[in-house]
Amino acid sequence: MRCWRLARTRRPVTFNDKVRYKLLRDHRPLMVTFADKEAVRHHVGRTVGARHLPEQLALLEDAADLVALELPATFVVKPTHGSGACVVVSTAATAEARLPRAEHGWTYAHVRPEHADRTALSAIAAGWLQKTYGRGPNHEWAYGRVPHRVVVEELLEGPDGGPPDDVKLFVFHQRCRFVQVDAARFGARTQDFLDRDGRWLDLTGGHPRSPVAPPPPVRLAEMVDLAEHLGAGTDFVRVDLFCLPDRVVVGELTSGPAGGDSPFRPAHWNTEFGRTWQVPRRYR
């Protein structure tokens, strides 16, 4: 099966083809560092400084420790060995929001402190610890090398007190080419794509665009600079950042967005994103 996938991806053209090419061939330790939400903190701290990291409140190997852990009223819980899973405990959550059942798997939820029952949170985290992420058809192998742990971090808040916009910068050969901005993640979510200078692109990637051209993210130039520093040493990485009132914070570094199945509408953007990405014949 792997030989067939290697043969099928040996002449990639589009962005998604090149993501699959990279997932199959790039087995450098750096890929494991990027996948590990604990190891990547050390990488970010060494590369751009600890001021660009959220405060870590706890790192747990046993989910049961969440129950009695001393924490502020608001915080974020997520696994170190997965992507897209977290529980945000915030006063900005809707009054109706509740934690999903633990068996729902890679949970992504936003609840108020009074609805963040610690026993239920512990059960969700225990479920994460039992799973290995990235077992889809394109097999994101790096997650299988990451220790299964749970991290608790400070809640990051935007200017309005709610979750900040998620700004994702696509960095090819240490140069940012495109920017994705996801706003209102737990509400009427929008997703916009911009070039590195903040110009709005006629592109959607799964969620609706804003009805009119949004202004470029505040501190876009600073975010581009940070992302390009963090892109050193690799042909491609997506750097996810949050712009807070007082600083820019790194969320995560992603080597294989959507496992190589990112939607592009119109479809020609898939080729456009891949155009400046020259994948190496061999990763060293």
The CATH number of residue 228's host domain is 3.30.470
With a CB cutoff of 8 Å and minimum separation 6, the contacts of 14 are 270, 271, 273, 274
Is residue 60 over pLDDT 70? yes
CA gap 165, 184 in Å, rounded: 7
For residues 48 and 117, state if they share a domain.
no
Residue 188 pLDDT: 83
Residue 2: per-residue pLDDT: 54
Of 135, 155, 175, the domain-final residue: 155
Q: Is the pLDDT of residue 8 over 70?
A: no
Task: Quote the pLDDT of residue 138.
Answer: 54
> Span 10-17, mean pLDDT?
92
pLDDT in tens, 217-261: 999 999 999 999 999 999 999 999 999 989 999 999 999 999 999
What tokens were used for 148? Answer: 């299964």
236 & 149 share domain? no
Q: What is the pLDDT of residues 142-189, one digit of tens each?
A: 999 999 999 999 999 988 888 899 999 999 999 999 999 999 877 788
**pLDDT score of 104 more than 90:** no
The Cβ of residue 197 has, within 10 Å, a number of other Cβ atoms equal to: 10
Residue with token string 């608790």: 152
Output the pLDDT for position 11.
84
Which range among 43-47, 127-131, 184-188, 257-261 shows the weakest confidence by mean pLDDT?
184-188
In the numeric block, which tokens belong to residue 215? 């202004």
82-94 pLDDT, tens digit each: 988 999 999 999 9
Domain's final residue, options 113, 133, 155 = 155
Tell me the CB-side half-sphere exposure of residue 138, using CA atoms within 13 A: 22
Winning range, highest mean pLDDT, from 97-111, 123-137, 269-283:
269-283
Shared domain check, 281 and 167: yes
98 residue type, one letter: R
Whether the pLDDT of residue 107 is over 90: the answer is no
Q: What is the mean pLDDT of the chain?
A: 93
Q: Which of 155, 189, 209 is the last residue of a domain?
A: 155
Residues 86 and 64 in one domain: yes
Examine the domain organization and report whether 192 and 256 are in the same domain. yes
235: domain range? Answer: 1-53+162-284
Q: Say whether both 137 and 177 belong to one domain.
A: no
Q: Is residue 205 very low, low, confident or very high in pLDDT (cuts 50, 70, 90)?
A: very high
